[in-house]
């Protein structure tokens, strides 16, 4: 669900200059090169009754990712840098490895710097960077976390660009979420203002899967699989005692994709609470009444809540270094309120509370995510070598495309309360359409 009332963004991709060098890929194998004119419709669906013979003539398109026959940089002389920003997510190391392997073996780039601890590593007080080689990254794709470290927040943009220029960096790969992409946008704008030849390409990372114009971010599949384990464990615990309630708090600050998808995949949740769908505790249609009914009928219940849900019940304060609001602890709140409610009514209740967030964030990526990380990394290197910048690699309708970072401004991606995913949640949990 995209932000309403905003005009459709310009999806055109900026270019550093003319591509004058033949791609070195042709020396290795026969490659199907992409043209900048090959695009994907932003909205591929249309009504055949209105347009019986062809798709609508005027339609927004996205540039398809992939190798170009001519590249902008003289490949053997390129100096690249990789930075990981924001919170941890399964697959960060797999993306790092994919970038290094592609740069080294296909584009003859022998200078790849690993920037330490996010954008802070490009500031004046930065720790020394790591020189990345295939030997250094050979076995990291199956490990959780990031060998480069990460952080939130950023030094002044001018300071970062000064250091990019001073260190002779030709291309910067930013692995991060929406805040990191805002930082990448600012870097790109300053680079263009100074007329420097530095490409900035983003690989979108958010465990919440909430970046607009990106259907799937890496690490999401792994996160859902790990979340399912937590829900299933809560069901086992709740079912193993009289009047047991299993409560699971999952990630999801502003979007409930993990909670909703994991509930459907598990099939063991009886209530799913996400930021996009308001709910109440009290009243005949509230969560407490639903739990009373469930315990009376089935003797146990499982509740899954996303961290950003029910913020009207708790008080958060301030923001973090990335500008995200500090959320109130809805998990602790529900644990207390549910327990107090049942005790006040002399009803039996045994609560088991599971919060697996950090276990999920630090998990090793599964095979599906490892493959996806490698695909994203290859597409990012192709884009940077072609001299493109100010973009991120997006997955739109099953294809990898170039998305201008600027297109994210003012938008977010959330679960559609009237869409198929939420309908599936209601069908699987049996909860009322609105718990209010």
**Could you report the per-residue pLDDT of 58-76, keeping only the tens digit for each?**
568 999 999 999 999 998 8
- Whether 128 shows a pLDDT value over 60: the answer reads yes
Name the residue with tokens 């679960």: 415
User: Average pLDDT of 70-85?
Assistant: 95
Please tell me which residue, 410 or 96, carries the higher pLDDT value: 96
Q: What is the pTM of this model?
A: 0.91
**pLDDT, position 316:** 66
Identical fold between 14-217+363-408 and 223-359+417-429: yes
* Residue 38: both structure tokens together: 């090959």
- Whether 250 shows a pLDDT value over 50: the answer reads yes
Helices (H), 7-127: 92-101
**pLDDT, position 328:** 92
For 284-354, strand residue ranges (E) read 300-306, 350-354
DSSP notation for 201-249: EEEE--TT---TT-S--TTHHHHHHHHHHHHHHHHHHHHTSTTEEEEEE
Model confidence band, residue 301 (pLDDT cutoffs 50, 70, 90)? very high
Model confidence band, residue 91 (pLDDT cutoffs 50, 70, 90)? very high
Helix axes 367-385, 220-239, angle to 10 degrees: 160
**pLDDT, position 1:** 45
- Of 134, 130, 136, 140, nearest to 95 by C-alpha is 140
Catalytic residue set: 208
* In the chain, domain spans: 14-217+363-408, 223-359+417-429
Backbone angles phi, psi at 274, to 5 degrees: -130, 160
Class of domain 223-359+417-429: alpha beta
Model confidence band, residue 55 (pLDDT cutoffs 50, 70, 90)? low
Q: Which residues contact 136 (CB under 8 A, 6 or more apart)?
A: 100, 130
**pLDDT, position 411:** 83
**Could you report the per-residue pLDDT of 199-232, keeping only the tens digit for each?**
999 999 988 888 989 988 999 999 999 999 999 9
CATH no., domain 14-217+363-408: 3.40.50.450
């Amino acid at each position: 669900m995209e932000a309403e009332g905003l005009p459709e963004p310009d999806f055109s991709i900026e270019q550093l200059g003319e591509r004058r060098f033949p791609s070195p890929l042709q020396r290795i194998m026969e490659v199907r090169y992409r043209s900048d004119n090959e695009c994907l419709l932003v909205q591929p669906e249309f009504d055949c009754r209105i347009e019986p013979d062809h798709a609508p003539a005027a339609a927004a398109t996205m540039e398809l990712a992939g190798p170009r026959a001519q590249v902008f940089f003289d490949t053997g002389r390129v100096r690249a840098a990789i930075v990981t920003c924001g919170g941890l997510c399964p697959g960060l190391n797999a993306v790092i490895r994919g970038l290094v392997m592609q740069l080294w073996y296909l584009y003859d780039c022998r200078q790849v710097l690993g920037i330490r601890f996010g954008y802070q590593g490009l500031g004046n007080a930065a720790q020394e960077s790591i020189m990345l080689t295939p030997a250094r990254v050979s076995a990291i794709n199956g490990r959780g976390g990031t060998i480069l470290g990460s952080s939130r927040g950023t030094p002044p943009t001018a300071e970062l660009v000064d250091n990019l220029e001073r260190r002779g960096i030709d291309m910067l790969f930013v692995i991060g979420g929406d805040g990191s992409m805002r930082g990448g946008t600012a870097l790109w704008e300053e680079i263009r203002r100074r007329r420097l030849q530095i490409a900035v390409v983003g690989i979108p990372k958010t465990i919440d899967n909430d970046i607009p114009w990106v259907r799937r971010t890496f690490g999401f599949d792994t996160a859902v699989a790990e979340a399912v384990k937590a829900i299933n464990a809560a069901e086992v615990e709740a079912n193993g005692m009289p009047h047991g309630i299993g409560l699971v708090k999952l990630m999801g600050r502003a979007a409930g994709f993990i909670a909703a998808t994991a509930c459907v995949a598990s099939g063991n949740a009886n209530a799913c609470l996400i930021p996009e769908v308001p709910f109440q505790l009290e009243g005949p249609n509230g969560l407490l009444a639903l739990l009373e009914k469930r315990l009376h009928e089935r003797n146990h219940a499982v509740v899954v809540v996303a961290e950003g849900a029910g913020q009207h019940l708790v008080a958060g304060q301030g923001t973090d270094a990335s500008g995200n609001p500090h959320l109130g602890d809805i998990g602790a709140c529900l644990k207390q309120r549910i327990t107090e409610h049942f005790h006040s009514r002399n009803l039996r209740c045994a609560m088991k509370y599971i919060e697996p967030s950090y276990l999920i964030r630090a998990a090793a990526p599964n095979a599906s995510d490892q493959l996806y990380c490698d695909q994203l990394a290859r597409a990012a290197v192709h884009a940077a070598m072609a001299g493109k910048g100010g973009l991120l690699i997006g997955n739109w309708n099953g294809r990898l495309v170039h998305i201008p970072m600027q297109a994210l401004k003012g938008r977010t991606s959330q679960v559609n309360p009237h869409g198929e995913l939420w309908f599936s949640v209601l069908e699987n949990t049996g909860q009322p359409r609105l718990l209010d």
